[in-house]
Amino acid sequence: MRPVVWGRSFLGAVLFYTVLPVPSAWGSQFHRVARWAPLVGLGLGMILAGIALGLDGLGMPPLTRSALVVILGWGLTGGLHLDGAMDTADGWMVGEPQRRLAAMQDSRAGAFGVMAAVAIALLKCAALTELTLNRFWALPMVAAWGRWGQVVAIAAYPYLKPTGKGAFHKRSLQLPQDWLLSTGTVLGWSAAHVYHAPATVWLTVASHSCGALFALGSGWIIQQRFGGQTGDTYGAIVEWTEALTLVAIATLSVH
């Protein structure tokens, strides 16, 4: 019975974190879906890597290809994490702590939210254009580490609202097993990457280390500013970890 329950939970994670279709007849449940977030990220990254390779084969210019991959990445998630990053930026710039959550809940995009979205887009596009590390490994890597950072934030920090799109993650997460599952996912990908590319082991290890560092650091910085987390800040952790890790990989790969 447990494999059936786990399967339905994973399908719930696919439904929650992406716009990919899941037949209703398969059954799904949203209980404890956060534990699957890094695995969902790996899958999304593989899809994007396949698209990037296909566009390369068609001879598409690198910058155009990179922009399309970034846009498609947002499309596959319905803009879920980007919306959170924008709302977090709007709340970040409010001076009064008691008004920050209200600013984040405003459905209108503020100036700082727009600037955050532009910054993330530019960083991702530029880094993907300059990337020399195999995209089959890099794109799933950054997506997995970003979502691992989200799981760590859910586990480690208080949730600031009694309700909301991320509140049920905090209530349903079971420790340490859910954290161990998500950690095993990203470490498994890291080990497979090292095994596949032993000649560039230093670059591989450094790239994954940057992913872990940015995932942990972004959650900690947000915690220091807001005193806790929300569904929006979970999305911000994903987007900034992805963008900064891609920049780090592009920088490391030219040295």
pLDDT digits (tens, 9 = 90+) for 71-116: 999 999 999 999 999 999 998 988 777 788 888 877 777 889 999 9
Q: How far is CA 142 from the centre of its chain?
A: 7
Reported as a single tens digit per residue, the pLDDT across 52-66 is 999 988 999 999 999
Contact call for residues 240 and 145 (beta carbons, < 8 A): no
CA distances from 13 to 16, 65, 157, 161, 204 (A): 5, 28, 21, 22, 28
For residues 15 and 160, the answer to whether their CB atoms sit within 8 Å is no
Sign for the CA dihedral angle at 159, 160, 161, 165 comes to: negative
Condensed to tens digits (0 to 9), the pLDDT of residues 181-225 reads: 999 999 999 899 888 887 778 888 899 999 999 999 999 999 999
Average pLDDT, the chain: 89
For the entire predicted model, the pTM comes to 0.93
pLDDT of residue 123: 97
Cis upstream peptide for 61 (omega within 30°): no
**pLDDT greater than 60 at residue 12:** yes
